[in-house]
Structures are given as C-alpha cells and as structure tokens.
Amino acid sequence: MDRRELIIERTVAVKRELAWLGWTKPEHIVHWWGPGNFTATVYEMDVRPGGIWRYSLAPVDGKGDEAYCKATYCEVSEPYRLYYIDSFTDRDWNVAEGSEMPTIIAFEEIAGGTKLTITTRFQEVKQLESAEAMGMIEGYKETLTRLENHFI
C-alpha cells in the first residue's frame, strides 16, 4: 500500500487540558496556529461533530497569499482526540476540489506534558509528497512550539 499519511509526534510541556483548550478555543488558537511567520484568523470555530472551523493563515510580512481553510469536525472526544476533515478553500469558503485532508489529533497525558500525535491523510501519494516538499513537517514543528510557548 502507498504511504499517504503524514504523522507528526511531539511532546509539549503543557497539561493535556490546556493543549485541548489551545486546539479548540479561538481565543487561544489565533496565537499559535501556523508557522511562526504566519498569523491566523478564525472566522468560525464550532467544535462538535458536524461543526465547522473556518480560518485563514496570512504571512506576517504581507508578502504572499493568504490561505483560506475550512475544517469539518467528525469526532470530538474531549480531551483525548479530535478528528476533522481539513480543506483549502477560496475566499467564499468553497472547498478546493481534492484538497480534503482527514486529520486526527491525539492528546496523550504523559509525565511533564502532553504527547500530541497528528495524523494527516492525503488522497494521493503525490499530495503527501507535495505537502512535505512545501514544508508541512517543519510548519507543524513550528506550530507546536508556538502552542507550547503560548501556555508557558
């Protein structure tokens, strides 16, 4: 079988309940979501099965395009697991064809913090390879560092 999943694991020095709040409350996520050179704007965040999270990421320096995204929550098991389908959209929130990325965030309480496991599934191998080439792994690493720093 072709590898179509990107799995990022990271332990953050934040209690699981805070990590969960960071991931599910707009007043927190706007401070850390995205790589360090981007700002996040949350337009809607309804964390429940069937709920929608609409957000954008924009380069801090204003150079480059703003990315619009919409996630639909499939499973919300507080404070253990989030499962949503994340997608790129246009400015009117129309999902870009073929951009759907099922994503699972697992929150495991461990000594000294929370182990986060992010699993993102791609429809095709070439989409995974493209995401890796554009820096998705590094972006997630920066994002999780920002999450940790937000609560420290």
119 - beta bridge partners? Answer: 7, 104
Q: Is 123 helix (H, G, I), strand (E, B) or coil?
A: coil
pLDDT at 116: 97
Q: How far apart are the first and last CA of the chain?
A: 41
User: What is the tally of structural domains in the chain?
Assistant: 1
Q: Is 69 helix (H, G, I), strand (E, B) or coil?
A: strand
Extract the runs of DSSP E, i.e. beta strands, from 26-132: 38-45, 52-59, 67-77, 81-89, 101-110, 113-121
Confidence (pTM): 0.90
Under 8 Å between Cβ of 81 and 107: yes
Domain span at 83: 5-151
Instruction: Please list the rounded mean pLDDT of every run of 10 residues in the chain (152 residues).
Output: 81 96 96 90 98 95 90 98 96 93 96 95 82 80 92 88
Q: Which residues are CB-contacts of 58 (< 8 A; sequence separation ≥ 6)?
A: 38, 39, 41, 66, 67
pLDDT at 1: 47
Q: Give the pair of three-digit tokens for residue 68.
A: 């619009």
CATH code: domain of residue 18: 3.30.530.20
- How many residues would you count in the chain? 152
